[in-house]
Amino acid sequence: MSELILRDIMRPMLPDIDLDDIVHLRKPHPCGGYEWKVVRLGADIGLECLTCGRRVMLTRRVLARRLKMILPDPEDEINAA
């Protein structure tokens, strides 16, 4: 296989993320929080820690590696009931 095809196969894919989604990362922030709110979408993804309020920017590739799960929105569950 060519190197280009191999590189595309090995690259982690970032699932569909929308603004105001809550994501759970693999390692905790120094404040101890795992949950982050998506506040900016673009080439970089802006995240805000739900524990301390700190904002960080991560590239899509870095976020794809650090992401553990996208948590369901509690408001959607309330509206669905």
- pLDDT tens by residue, 45-79: 999 999 999 999 999 999 999 999 998 876 665 66
Residue 72, pLDDT score: 80
Residue environment code for 35-64, b if the CB has 16+ CB neighbours within 10 A, otherwise e = bbbbeeeeeebbbebeeeeeeeebeeeebb
- The mean per-residue pLDDT over the stretch 19-23 comes to 94
Q: Are 39 and 47 in contact (CB under 8 A)?
A: yes
Residue 78, pLDDT score: 60
Check residues 5 and 43 and name the one with the higher pLDDT.
43
Residue 56 to residue 24: CA distance in whole angstroms: 14
- CATH code: domain 3-73 is 2.30.30
Residue 1, pLDDT score: 46
Residue 60 to residue 12: CA distance in whole angstroms: 10
% of the chain exceeding 90 in pLDDT = 64
> Model-level pTM?
0.75
What residue ranges do the domains of the chain occupy?
3-73
Residue 77, pLDDT score: 55
